[in-house]
Amino acid sequence: MTTIENGSGTRELAGKRALVTGGSRGIGAAIVRQLLDAGAEVLTTARSATSTVAEGATFVEADVRTRAGAETLAAAAQEALGGVDILVHNAGGARPYESTSAIPDEEWQDQLDLNYLASVRLDSLLTPGMRERRSGVIVHVSSAAVPVTPPPFLHYTAAKAALENYSRGLALELAPSGIRVNTVTPGRTATPGGELTREQWARLDPAQGQNGTTVPLGRDGQPDDIAHAVLFLVSDRASWLTGSNLVVDGGEFPRG
């Protein structure tokens, strides 16, 4: 990989083409900024047009919950970038319900489409090109809530658990082709979407706090904390790392 020095430091991703889903705000926007700063050419997406995309990134409106949306995005990446070297699946989210039985069927399906099948579909469209080039990096973004499975979010954590399992299996399949696949698992992170979700949860269960005091490191994560982990995984510094799950949660959730 070519490295280029400029005024802000080493641009270790110079010449790389990246696609980031859900890159218009929060963690996704931070990932887009850091990839751009590292020299990558970046295309990102959201379900509706936005003015908050980082300067220098290409934006495509697409709904990754659908096969048609995935196909639109893959075609746009091919046209705008000529291919994808780095694929970051960040799009996701959920709202809590009072009980598992209160979650309607369509919400279960929506969560599977957004938090699991969106990655499966887009991977299937973009990995053939990576196989041909015998290189590429994929990062799936999960959730530190998966091992604790809070009932109001069971539809969400079930989909993210499926994503983690899929990510490990895909890593084994693609490793012989020189493609690395890893997962980043954020904990409690200060984003507009995260704050809204916690407010909704607190209305259902007032015992749920609204600050980071339960995090051993004493604060909520920031979007850049997660983006730094993604940047590491897509760089050559992680060239012997695949099938891993990098948990970035300030020590909040124990994992076996």
The answer to whether position 22 is within a domain reads yes
Name residue 212's amino acid: G
Under 8 Å CB-to-CB from 29, ≥6 apart: which residues? 23, 52, 53, 54, 223
Mean pLDDT computed over 9-17: 89
Number of domains, the chain: 1
Which structural domain range is residue 163 located in?
Answer: 12-242
The answer to whether position 65 is within a domain reads yes
The answer to whether position 2 is within a domain reads no
The answer to whether position 3 is within a domain reads no
The answer to whether residue 185 scores a pLDDT higher than 60 is yes
The answer to whether position 249 is within a domain reads no
Is 156 one of the annotated active-site residues of the chain?
yes
For 29-82, how does the pLDDT look when each residue is reduced to its tens digit (9 = 90+)?
999 999 999 999 999 998 876 667 899 999 999 999 999 999 999 999 999 999
The answer to whether residue 92 scores a pLDDT higher than 90 is yes
Neighbours of 181 (CB within 10 A): 27
The answer to whether position 252 is within a domain reads no
Residues in the chain: 256
19 three-class SS = strand
Indicate which CATH number applies to the domain containing 179: 3.40.50.720
The answer to whether position 35 is within a domain reads yes
What are the φ and ψ backbone dihedral angles of 230, each rounded to 5 degrees? -65, -45
pLDDT score recorded for residue 44 = 97
The answer to whether position 162 is within a domain reads yes
pLDDT score recorded for residue 53 = 85
